[in-house]
Structure 1
Amino acid sequence: MKTSVESLDPVKVKLTVEVEPKRVKQAFDRAARELAKQVSLPGFRPGKAPRRLLEQRFGEGVIAQTAMENSLSDYYVEALRSEEIDAVAQPEVDVETFDEAEGCTFTATIEVRPSFDPPAHDGISVTFPEWDVDDEDVDEQLEQLRERFAEVDEVERAAQDGDLATLDLRVEVEGSELESARVEDALYEIGSQGVTPKLDEELVGKSAGDEFSYEDALPEEYPEHGGEQATFFVTVKDVREKTLPELDDDFAQTASGFDTLDELKRDLRNSLLRRRVEQAQHELRGRILEAYLARVDVPLPPSMVEADKQGRIHQLEHQAERFGIEVDQLFAMEETSREEFEANAQTQAEETVKAQLVLDALSSTLELDLQPGDIDQEIVRHAQSNGVSPQEIARVIQQQGSLPALVGDILRRKTIDAIVASAQVEGGPSDEVLIELGLLDDPDATEAGDTPDAEGERSDAEVADTPDAAAAEVDTEAAADEDADGARS
């Protein structure tokens, strides 16, 4: 076999392959034997019919076509390996010759990964995002806790702002009732603006047994007739007063396992602080990765971008199917349009593909090693994000043969860790604060032989595994995640 490669552009090459006649004749002979097994000719045992009779029966073209279909992909793969071509999509193949006497000559136009040197990953300087917690933040948490432990009692007076009311509600648009909007015995908090703002205004002053109607626009995100004028018919069944508990030690004991209000406040502050720090660490990783990727321009293979974009569109369609609604209704709920979504999907796909290419290039220079537990941890991570068992994710990976993609995902994560570790970060919590919050192992405890609890073993890499991680991390397991999502639903 002879091969040659011509570069057409940074992400496309033309591969020319010449296969000697001897190998092509072998392909013809194999094709003839294959066809012979499929027919029964008088006077010959199955599979033993001579080739000339097969040619008379099927025509020479059928044998040639079968030979080409059975062998061309093998020739192509062999040529890829010989030329060390990293193809990212199916090729466009043009067969010039496929003949026993002349051999085979074909060309393949192939999209490939661009060849480039990744930039150095040191020298990045960033500021740690805002992470502190003030008294107002703690007070807000306390108020939410008070709401959870509020006492609710039915009253005989007219409704006031902040009261709860049990309602029956139906909606008509142009005289036709919206069945999907009908509710009965719904407990509604006056002032929450949970239906339309005008409902809250109308409810103030109403008493149990009152019936009324009003005109207002349906919320824009409503699946049917969103934004259109409608008539709302309301029946008030009862009015309930909500009484919040006093903020004292008794409340702390009732609402938590703490003896005093100060202890409860301290715990709320630490819990909120931990979440803030985790969010800030995640945002920090995103800033560092963004700064690194900005150091290089990389030509993107169109097929990789399109595949990522279509994956996002398919995911949205699957989401709409799970909700039992049309995709356009989901767009309305998200306050966007198909055009806007596809434009955003295109941008996100380009960013994702660029990150994959750059991180893969850098990974190959860092000599990263996979540890024995890395694959198991990654499977658990995907299982947690999809709400299924690790065994289900492992089954999908095995079924799809996507273990190499999973390994690539792990190596990219480790590469991001290396970029983050080399960055100069200004500000942020001290090690003492991180240890206290359980976000950093205590070296003294480790030396003493203590084993940190699972909560405290969360590294920077793990912090990035939040729902918004797509902005900073690159995940190549979308296919496995989608199938796991389907198994869950």
Structure 2
Amino acid sequence: MKTTVEPLSPTRVKLAVEMTFDELKPAFDAAYKKIGAEVRIPGFRPGKVPARILDQRIGRPAILDEVVSNAVPQAYGEALQENDVRPLGQPEIEVTKLEDGETITFTAEVDVRPTIEVPDLESLAVTVDPVEVTEEEMDNQINALRDRFAMLTGVDRSAATGDYVSLDLSASVDGKEVEGGTTTGLSYEVGAGDLMVGLDEALVGMDEADTKTFQTQLAAGDQAGKTADVEITVRSVKEKQLPAVDDEFASTASEFDTLEELRADIRERLTRTKRLQQGASARDKLVEHLIASTDLPLPEGVVNGELEWRKQAMTAELDEAGMTLESYLEGLDTTVEVHDNELRNSVEQAVRTQFILDAIADQREIGIENDDLVTYIMSRAQRLGISPDEYA
């Protein structure tokens, strides 16, 4: 097999491959075997039809099509290895010559990663924030833990921000009930702001058994964007009582006996997290510097492929939420044009970053252990609900 590689641009190459029919004998044998098992010709058992009979009955062009469809992808893979070409995405393959009994020639154009000259990293320096755990951060962790062990106690007063209410809710548009817009006994934290616009303002000041109606614009569903009348009835009002910060709380909320031990553990965990964040920040700043100082052309096919994948993923998420892209962007006070530009910039930055990291990994000969790769594939396949072979 003869192969050549022609650079078309810094991010695209064309491979030319020529194969003789002697080299294609295994592919012809496989084609005759496959087709012979599928056809029924009087006087011959399936799979036992001679090649010349198949040529006569099925036609030589059909045999050649089968050979080409199997031999070309295999030859393409061998040509990549032989020329040390690492493709990005699928190739555009064209059979340029097919002389029966002589040769098959094809070309394959494919995107490739550009050659990147990574400077000496030892000579580069970046500035990152020091690892420092503040008392405020410690208190935030303690308060979050207190919140998890808080008790809800009924109160004989009007609802206020931070209270929990049990409420009945019913939404209607033009007097007709909204599908899925009715619920009873819903537990809701006043001020959470994650259910519907206007609900928190309506709840503040309401007493147990009070009923109120307010209007809101529906954000999702078949009637998204329409104004709905929402009737709410408060069943109960409860306030959150946080536990005192003492040794008893520490022993209840953790494996430690004293508050001092709990705070020491929190400080240690925060310090570890900040060290990881510091390393990530240093990496990001280093990559930003390398991107800014390196001429890094991007393969348009890779960028467009990633762009299309992200758009499809976003559309699927919005469909599941009952929203359109236009209504979602309207809520963010932006336009489709601005969103598309921001998305493309994000994709281009992500591709540049990956190219830089790959170049650094190659320069430093950073690899991955086979056991780690197998574990990763097994984990991802299990999460996606497919077999490891399908994921790989």
Same fold (TM > 0.5): yes
> 1:372-407 CA deviation, whole Å, 9 max, x = no partner?
76446x639x84xx6x9xxx47996840473xxxxx
Where 1:72 maps in the other structure, the secondary structure is: helix
| Residue type of the alignment partner of 2:98 | F
Does 1:399 find its partner at 2:389?
yes
Q: What value does the CA root-mean-square deviation take over the aligned residues? A: 4.2
Shift of 1:27: 6.3
Aligned with residue 295 of structure 1, among 290, 293, 296:
293
| 8 A contact 1:24–1:98 mirrored in 2 | no
> 1:209-228 CA deviation, whole Å, 9 max, x = no partner?
2212123445x5x4565564
What's the counterpart of residue 324 of structure 2? 328
What's the counterpart of residue 85 of structure 1? 85
> 1:198-239 CA deviation, whole Å, 9 max, x = no partner?
444433443222212123445x5x456556433221112223
Distance 2:368 2:288 in 1: 25
1:233-248 paired onto structure 2 within 5 Å: 233-247=231-245
Aligned with residue 312 of structure 1, among 297, 310, 313:
310
Where 1:299 maps in the other structure, the secondary structure is: coil
What's the counterpart of residue 230 of structure 2? 232
| Residue type of the alignment partner of 1:332 | Y
| Residue type of the alignment partner of 2:287 | L
| 8 A contact 1:19–1:104 mirrored in 2 | yes
1:441-480 paired onto structure 2 within 5 Å: none
What's the counterpart of residue 417 of structure 1? none
> 1:321-355 CA deviation, whole Å, 9 max, x = no partner?
8xx54463798399577766655554343333333
Shift of 1:137: 3.4
| 8 A contact 1:169–1:234 mirrored in 2 | yes
1:208-227 paired onto structure 2 within 5 Å: 208-218=208-218, 220=219, 222-223=220-221, 225=223
What's the counterpart of residue 206 of structure 1? 206
Distance 1:31 1:2 in 2: 23
What's the counterpart of residue 169 of structure 2? 169
| 8 A contact 2:296–2:352 mirrored in 1 | yes
1:345-364 paired onto structure 2 within 5 Å: 345-364=343-362
| 8 A contact 1:214–1:233 mirrored in 2 | yes
What's the counterpart of residue 58 of structure 2? 58
Shift of 1:114: 2.6
Where 2:180 maps in the other structure, the secondary structure is: helix
Range with greater deviation from structure 2 (99-108 or 227-236): 99-108
What's the counterpart of residue 69 of structure 2? 69
Does 1:379 find its partner at 2:376?
yes
| 8 A contact 1:129–1:284 mirrored in 2 | no
Does 1:127 find its partner at 2:127?
yes
Distance 2:38 2:246 in 1: 87
Structure 1, unaligned runs of 5 or more: 403-489
| 8 A contact 1:320–1:330 mirrored in 2 | no
TM-score, structure 2 as length reference: 0.76
Shift of 1:370: 4.8
| 8 A contact 1:213–1:231 mirrored in 2 | yes
Structure 2, unaligned runs of 5 or more: none
Distance 2:353 2:27 in 1: 43
| 8 A contact 2:224–2:323 mirrored in 1 | no
| 8 A contact 2:287–2:356 mirrored in 1 | no
| Change in 2 beyond 3 A, CA 1:175/1:347 | same
Distance 1:142 1:35 in 2: 71
| Change in 2 beyond 3 A, CA 1:195/1:131 | farther
| Change in 2 beyond 3 A, CA 1:49/1:129 | same
Shift of 1:304: 2.9
Shift of 1:10: 1.7
Distance 1:162 1:45 in 2: 81
| Residue type of the alignment partner of 1:17 | V
Distance 1:148 1:40 in 2: 72
| 8 A contact 1:245–1:251 mirrored in 2 | yes
What's the counterpart of residue 188 of structure 1? 188
| Change in 2 beyond 3 A, CA 1:223/1:282 | farther
Tell me which protein shows more helix as a share of its residues: 1
Where 2:324 maps in the other structure, the secondary structure is: helix
| 8 A contact 2:326–2:335 mirrored in 1 | no
| Residue type of the alignment partner of 1:299 | P
Does 1:104 find its partner at 2:104?
yes
| Residue type of the alignment partner of 1:132 | E
Shift of 1:125: 1.6
What's the counterpart of residue 8 of structure 2? 8
Where 1:209 maps in the other structure, the secondary structure is: coil
Shift of 1:41: 4.5
Distance 1:295 1:4 in 2: 33
| 8 A contact 1:124–1:291 mirrored in 2 | no
Distance 1:183 1:168 in 2: 6
Tell me which protein shows more strand as a share of its residues: 2
| 8 A contact 2:211–2:233 mirrored in 1 | yes
What percentage of aligned pairs have identical amino acids? 33
| 8 A contact 1:24–1:99 mirrored in 2 | no
Where 1:96 maps in the other structure, the secondary structure is: strand
